[in-house]
Amino acid sequence: MKISNTLMRGFYAGLIAGIVAGISLTSGRIIESMLKLLSAEVILTLDFIIAHFGYAIGATAIFGGIFGAIYSKFYHGIPGKGVKNGFVFGLLIYLLSNVYQSSRELINWLLTWEDIYFKWIFSWGLALYVWIPYGVVLGFLYERWK
């Protein structure tokens, strides 16, 4: 399959990469809860898993598509080619999205010493397992659909 419009290619590649990232996000949250990590959200229930799957896949796919369209604009400014290029873009999204939110919780925690903020520093910060698969799949599909 070939998509000549770079914006649409980025959007569709991002949409699929977002679905993969959404599955990875939910799987990661389940593993965090099973291992009782500090970043774990809640006690693991079937309802939580189903709801989280719905939200994570839906929201991450939509944002994945939007970020994919942005990727198509910055493609030539990111180092590397194909999968490596996508991987670097995934790390950039992680920095701007999750590290940003994590730093917000860090300052909240430093100002209030509330435990909930300490937990959220890790909850946002550990989510590298979302954006690495996203970037890799995005880079791969974007290159393949050229």
Partner 1 sequence: MRGGNSLKRAIVAGFIAGLASGIVFFISRFNGWWDLFSFNPFAPPFNIQKMASYDIIMGITWGIIWGILYAIFYDFIPSKGIGKGLFYGLIVWTISILRGSVVSAAYGWFNWAVPYTLSGFISICIIYGLLIGYLYKPTK
> Which residues contribute to the site for partner 1 (CB under 8 A)?
41, 55, 59, 63, 66-67, 70, 73-74, 76-77, 92-93, 95-97, 100-101, 103-104, 107-108, 111-112, 114, 116
Burial string for 76-91 (b: 16+ CB within 10 Å, else e) reads eebeeeebebbbebbb
Q: Could you tell me the smallest distance in angstroms from the CB atom of residue 73 to partner 1?
A: 6
Instruction: Report the interhelical angle of 128-144 vs 83-93 (nearest 10°).
Output: 140
Can you say whether the dihedral through the CA atoms of 63, 68, 74, 80 is positive or negative?
positive
Distance in angstroms (rounded) separating the CA atoms of residues 91 and 135: 8
* Shortest Cβ 112–partner 1 spacing (Å): 6
Q: What is the enclosing helix (H) or strand (E) of 130?
A: helix 128-144
Minimum CB separation of residue 41 from partner 1 in Å reads: 7
Smaller CB separation from partner 1, 2 or 113? 113
**CB-wise, 12 or 63, nearer to partner 1?**
63
Closer of 65 and 137 to partner 1 (Cβ):
65
3-state secondary structure of 43: coil
